[in-house]
Amino acid sequence: MSPSSDEGVSAAAEAAARRSYGKLVAFLASRTRDVAAAEDALSAAFESALQNWPAHGVPANPEAWLMTAARRSLIDAARRRKTRDDAVADLLLIADTSSEEGDAARRAIPDDRLLLMFACAHPAIERSVRAPLMLQTILGFDAATIASAFLVAPSAMGQRLVRAKAKIKQAGIPFRLPDHDDIAERLDTVLEAIYAAFTEGWSDPAGTEARHRNLTDEGIWLGRLIVLLLPDEPEALGLLALMLHAQARRAARRDAQGGYVPLAEQDPALWNAHQIDEAEALLLRASAMGTRGSTGRYQLEAAVQSAHVIRRRTGRADWPAIARLYDALAALTGSPVVEINRAVAVAETRGAAAGLAVLDAVADDPRLADYQPYWAARAGLLAGTGATAAADAAYAQAIGLEADPAVRRFLQQRREALQAR
């Protein structure tokens, strides 16, 4: 190896982190049962690389170099704790990896990221911290960045992540695939955490808020990883298809002046055709596996998006198909949010009064009292039935609940148009 420039070293370290951070943490943590210690060791390894590589050059296999350095760091830390009972077990576990690694320059390091995902999404881990835990352990996000993305104080998020990692170690949460009988439920928990990360970024349509920037990309990256590791799971394929369909429309969600553009009014020419085509291929793969069981939530939601993007060719979304898909989603999930979307689809196929009847059936759900999309949908459907005064009141409620200035302006314009009529 020959000396490398600081820029070259930084670029190589960043590339190795992007490619291998989660893989290395997962490999170390699955053997030590200690996620925090694995992260600390890998952090020390990267620090050592930034000191060593400028003088000696970037190694031919940065991943193997980092693994060796991290393993040494773990061994040193365990030796410093040699008076503690668990240090002996830690040393034995770490030592066992030497024969397992073999010559790391010649053998690929086992990819245990899927096992780490299942550990992060274990039922014993608090639901609200599962997605942040994946972002930190698989992607290397720091607690402050995660806290900003999820609108939580950095200190609070840091404490939650520390507690979750301690829970993995203290409760002996296994790094293994769940049993066959549990795989569906546990996989859904993993997919839910990935989708939570994606939707945090999706809530910033213009991509202008630092706390949300790149979260959609990272969610899709995790979705690709789960499909790579579980290629025969229809719901994993469905989730990735759903995220790609949504991401394909990012450029169309705002006009040139930054105004909000609802899906039905977006210009299909602005949608990302490559991402849509990939999403459609994934959904086709998932549907081909339909004999393995009933179609799941993510496949249904992706199919809804597919029925919307058909407008690229026909000029109109397939509303009858969308209504049927929301019927299936409502039966599957019992979600009032699904009912809102179903009401809109029903209105498109059977008229505003029929859609309003769907909304009326869930109007007493306390979860909808402060939910802006419910009031926006209700306002539009009431306006469609000619109930101007009630529609105006619903628009006022929706406007008061909306935090996004662009969406608030859009709702205000709709309300003003209604008043003008």
C-alpha to C-alpha distances, 406 to 28, 32, 259, nearest whole angstrom: 46, 49, 5
User: What CA–CA distance (Å, rounded) separates 64 from 27?
Assistant: 12
Residue 145 has pLDDT above 70, yes or no: yes
User: What CA–CA distance (Å, rounded) separates 177 from 183?
Assistant: 7
Residue 152 has pLDDT above 60, yes or no: yes
Average pLDDT over residues 170-194: 81
Average pLDDT over residues 27-41: 89
Task: Indicate the pLDDT class of residue 166, thresholds 50, 70 and 90.
Answer: very high
Cα torsion 65, 66, 69, 74: sign: negative
User: What CA–CA distance (Å, rounded) separates 275 from 252?
Assistant: 14
| Mean per-residue pLDDT of the chain | 86
Task: Indicate the pLDDT class of residue 100, thresholds 50, 70 and 90.
Answer: very low
Q: What confidence score (pLDDT) does residue 210 get? A: 43
Residue 44 has pLDDT above 70, yes or no: yes
Q: What confidence score (pLDDT) does residue 40 get? A: 92
Which one has a higher pLDDT value, 139 or 161?
161
Residue 79 has pLDDT above 80, yes or no: no
User: What CA–CA distance (Å, rounded) separates 299 from 70?
Assistant: 40
Least confident among 80-89, 194-203, 333-342, 399-408 = 80-89
Two tokens, residue 129:
């911290």
DSSP string, 314-368: HSS--HHHHHHHHHHHHHHH--HHHHHHHHHHHHHHH-HHHHHHHHHHTTT-GGG
Instruction: Kindly provide the residue ranges of all beta strands, DSSP E only, lying in 192-317, ordered along the sequence.
Output: none
Q: What confidence score (pLDDT) does residue 150 get? A: 76
Phi, psi of 260 (to 5 degrees): -70, 135
Residue 293 has pLDDT above 60, yes or no: no
Average pLDDT over residues 342-360: 97
Q: Are 25 and 154 in contact (CB under 8 A)?
A: no
Closest to 307 in 3D by CA, of 295, 320, 318: 318
Which residue has 């790579």 as its token pair?
228
Question: With a threshold of 0.75, does the pTM exceed it?
Answer: yes
Residue 80 has pLDDT above 90, yes or no: no
Q: What confidence score (pLDDT) does residue 96 get? A: 52
Average pLDDT over residues 254-262: 92
DSSP string, 3-59: ---HHHHHHHHHHHHHHHHHHHHHHHHHHHS-HHHHHHHHHHHHHHHHHHHHHH---
Residue 91 has pLDDT above 60, yes or no: no
Which residue has 């991401």 as its token pair?
247
13, 17, 23, 28 alpha-carbon torsion, rounded to 10°: 70
Closest to 28 in 3D by CA, of 142, 148, 116: 116
Task: Indicate the pLDDT class of residue 248, thresholds 50, 70 and 90.
Answer: very high
Domain ranges of the chain: 6-110, 114-252+264-333+342-354, 371-421
Q: Are 158 and 40 in contact (CB under 8 A)?
A: no
Which one has a higher pLDDT value, 2 or 339?
339
Q: Are 50 and 9 in contact (CB under 8 A)?
A: yes
Residue 164 has pLDDT above 50, yes or no: yes
User: What CA–CA distance (Å, rounded) separates 419 from 417?
Assistant: 5
Q: Are 185 and 118 in contact (CB under 8 A)?
A: no
Least confident among 112-121, 259-268, 287-296, 408-417 = 287-296
Q: What confidence score (pLDDT) does residue 101 get? A: 46
Q: What end-to-end distance do the CA atoms of the chain give, in Å?
A: 76
Task: Indicate the pLDDT class of residue 105, thresholds 50, 70 and 90.
Answer: very low
Which one has a higher pLDDT value, 59 or 292?
59
User: What CA–CA distance (Å, rounded) separates 357 from 343?
Assistant: 8
* pLDDT above 90 coverage of the chain, percent: 48
Q: What confidence score (pLDDT) does residue 146 get? A: 83
Closest to 116 in 3D by CA, of 53, 27, 41: 27
Which DSSP letter does residue 310 get? T
Average pLDDT over residues 275-291: 90
Task: Indicate the pLDDT class of residue 82, thresholds 50, 70 and 90.
Answer: low
Closest to 137 in 3D by CA, of 171, 161, 160, 158: 161
Closest to 45 in 3D by CA, of 21, 78, 23: 21
Residues in the chain: 421
DSSP string, 239-266: HHHHHHHHHHTGGGSB-TTS-B--GGGS
**Bridge partners for 260 per DSSP:** 254
